[in-house]
Structure 1
């Protein structure tokens, strides 16, 4: 039986430190493993704490679409339907001839996240009643880059309020 999350006793250090609540001998060494930002902890026996190559990551996606003008009410209703069908959408901004959709995608790598994003508008055009606009922009960045941009003040403002809003 493997112990749960390790909690070390205050003041206990070095190779004699023992995780609280375990029966491990005090002389047994146990290495600490860290997980870098954006990596997923995937315990799998011998490689506990290592990130597997196929582990999914979070990617921030901004999809921009545009085309011929459509009635504003219809654009709003369609984006609301898309958000209802796919609650992962953070925010959508729209005008009569363009829109921007921002959301988080879980994918193995950037290529997978981009492929899903590039299919989003076309695959849901009929079901959500989206305008026949084309994709004119796509940005896919990893979670660390997104948070670094926000911290440095040059990234997009956080998606607040979440939902569908006019530009």
Structure 2
């Protein structure tokens, strides 16, 4: 998924979320809290949402879980990190969407849509957190959010 014209991706992603907003009139509208619904012929503005998806189910061989999560990371461009055990996993990534409802809908489909192509275990989604970029950074700054996803990749719990 392309990050869209209202976002820029720096060459060096650094330790943060790796994405910075572009300057321009749309940014000033968002910061001022004005209505950002598109006018006739304009594209809806998208935002970044930090997703944490938790799945669980019957035990599966660890090497198969890892391989499936690595394939999912390859298939999903904004995947940051995955942690796994033989009966559960946690996936964290950034999703671009118009609003929280759209981001949550995409997140709830992620596991099922990639289950066969990535050969993921037949686990069910047992948890979902969707927060906006500002909330993510506020939690990090206050010391009670999840640590930044470093190292990026697939790791055991």
Q: 1:118 to 1:42 in 2, by over 3 A?
A: farther
Equivalence map 1:8-157=2 (5 Å) = 43=25, 49-51=28-30, 52-53=36-37, 54-157=44-147
The Cα offsets for residues 83-131 of structure 1, whole Å up to 9 and x where unpaired, read as 0111210000000000000000000000000000000000000000000
Equivalenced residues, count: 127
- TM-score by length of structure 1 reads 0.71
Which of 124, 142, 162 is matched with 2:152 structurally? 162
1:72–1:95 CA contact under 8 A, matched in 2? yes
Structure 2 counterpart SS, 1:131: coil
Question: What RMSD, in angstroms, separates the aligned Cα atoms of the two structures?
Answer: 1.9
- Partner residue in 1 for 2:17: none
For residue 50 of structure 1, report the CA deviation from its aligned partner: 2.6
Say which structure is richer in strand: 2
For residue 160 of structure 1, report the CA deviation from its aligned partner: 0.3
Alpha-carbon distance in structure 2 between the residues aligned to 1:99 and 1:42: 39
Alpha-carbon distance in structure 1 between the residues aligned to 2:56 and 2:104: 18
- TM-score by length of structure 2 reads 0.76
Structure having the higher Rg: 1
For residue 41 of structure 1, report the CA deviation from its aligned partner: 5.5
Alpha-carbon distance in structure 1 between the residues aligned to 2:46 and 2:21: 8
Structure 1 counterpart SS, 2:117: helix
Alpha-carbon distance in structure 1 between the residues aligned to 2:100 and 2:23: 19
Structure 2 counterpart SS, 1:128: coil
